[in-house]
Amino acid sequence: MRTEKIIVSSLQEAVEELKRTYGDNAVVLSSRVVKKKRWSFLPFFKTTLLEVTVGIPESEGEFKKEIEERIRVYEEIENLKKKLTQVIENVRTQGEEHQGRGDSTEGLSLRAQRVMSRMVYRGVRKEIARKLIEEACGYDIELGKLDFKEDVYPSLMESFKKNIPIEGERIFENTPQIMVLIGPTGVGKTTTIAKLSYLFKRAGKRPGVITLDSYRVGAVEQLRAFINIMELPFRVADTPEEFLKALEEMDSRDVILVDTAGRSQHDRVRLNELRLFLESAQTHIYLTLSANLSELVMYEVIMQFGMFPIKGLIFSKLDETSYPGNVVNVAYRTKLPILCFTTGQTVPDDIVMANYEYLTKLMLEERHELESAGNSPEA
Ligand SMILES: Nc1nc2c(ncn2[C@@H]2O[C@H](COP(=O)(O)OP(=O)(O)OP(=O)(O)O)[C@@H](O)[C@H]2O)c(=O)[nH]1
Ligand SMILES: [Mg+2]
């Protein structure tokens, strides 16, 4: 597919122009607002126009192939959405039960009951806490109750291993070539990109960073500063073509981390705009969720960002919540693997690649005891 740029005053005009000039198969790839002088005798009078990038298929066959591939991705996405709608429905109805008085600790040993209360106190839903604990337990004939198979900690960790997928440090071995962080505004994507770049470098990989966020003043400079300190290559891309070019330039890097501008999950226009970038290359997309969001909002975000094939989750700002049980609920229900947690503003220190030890401690221990389970870059 070849691309061309046209300047128009509205998207509607672009679509009409496209049909007229190139026929039915041409598509709008991206658009951006530009300021242009309209009358040369009024040099300071600029008007706002749209620069639209259009894709024109070279041949009928290529167009068909592209459409088929898009349909396949959309079908995959539709399936995830269906699954999530069901999950949201369940959470809503179970939310009411959750407040109810039903004795969900029935048949559990005293210590299992204590652990369950602790998990529920930290925000794990009763029914999920019960399932996780049941899987960590066996029937104790003497007690006549379900009790942990071994000590509490290893038993619970085994249950997490069975029920909550984690990617964590495995990413340093099976490194994807292009890793993109998407998510709502201000959740910590840019900061996390800087932290991850450091960890990739420390693991002996050669990372590079591209940002697609040139909208927000200071966003580029903030990231550039981090990346420069680490002496890593850094590019800014404003259009899908510039993105492809930057990817080509960084072809020799082991991993390319791509930062994107935050988007509200309700802003379909900007989400679609991002899709134009990400559909142009084979990317591994990670959704960043702030751990202090409510569980339902997390599902809503996953659902709306579900227009992208999400590979895994990053939970940021764990330091800002006292109820990390949300993280367990969401990972348990969606089965999307957790890549990492971020635990503060400091780059590169405040990040923990997800691991079962940390997850278990998150449920069982006090906040200050968690440090030992992390993988602080200083460790
Ligand atoms: N407490 C805490 N703050 C964090 C964490 N990660 C990032 N922040 C802060 O959150 C704010 C936003 O971080 P950014 O990395 O700019 O977030 P972003 O998702 O890139 O934001 P946009 O690009 O505007 O969507 C900054 O003040 C960060 O220092 C974290 O793990 N804990
Ligand atoms: Mg950012």
pLDDT in tens, 133-175: 999 999 999 889 899 999 999 999 999 999 999 999 999 999 8
Q: In terms of domains, do 183 and 299 share one?
A: yes
Q: Does 214 share its domain with 351?
A: yes
Cα of 317 vs centre of ligand 2, distance in Å, is: 14
Are 158 and 223 found together in one domain? Answer: no
Domain boundary pick from 112, 136, 163: 163
User: Residue 74: which H helix or E strand, with range?
Assistant: helix 60-99
- Identify whether 86 is part of a domain: no
Same domain, 216 and 354: yes
- Nearest C-alpha to atom 4 of ligand 1 is from which residue? 345
What local confidence, expressed as pLDDT, does residue 263 receive? 83
Q: What average pLDDT score do residues 245-250 get?
A: 93
> Which helix H or strand E contains 219, and what residues bound it?
helix 219-229
Residue 295's domain spans which residues?
167-373
Same domain, 128 and 213: no
Model confidence at 51, pLDDT cuts 50, 70, 90, reads: confident
Instruction: Check residue 60 and give its pLDDT.
Output: 63
User: Which of 113, 140, 163 delimits the end of a domain?
Assistant: 163
Residue 379 has pLDDT above 50, yes or no: no
Least Cα distance to 262 among 295, 294, 206, 222 occurs for 222
User: Measured from the CB, is residue 343 less than 6 Å from ligand 1?
Assistant: yes
* 185 CA distance to ligand 1 middle (Å): 9
Model confidence at 361: pLDDT above 70: yes
Domain check: are 155 and 138 in the same one? yes
253: domain CATH number is 3.40.50.300
Asked whether residue 19 falls in the same domain as residue 110, the answer is: no
Instruction: Judge residue 33's burial from the number of C-beta atoms within 10 Å of its C-beta, 0-12 exposed, 13-18 middle, 19 or more buried.
Output: exposed
Phi and psi (nearest 5°) for 207? -85, 160
Q: How far does the centroid of ligand 2 lie from the alpha carbon of residue 189, in Å?
A: 5
| 258 plus 178 within the same structural domain | yes
Same domain for 212 and 301? Answer: yes
Atom number of ligand 1 nearest to Cα 184: 25
Question: Looking at per-residue confidence, does 254 or 373 come out higher?
Answer: 254
Domain count, the chain: 3
The atom of ligand 1 lying closest to the CA of 342 is: 31
Nearest to 112 by CA among 82, 93, 136, 78: 136
Ligand 1 in reach of 130 Cβ (< 6 A): no
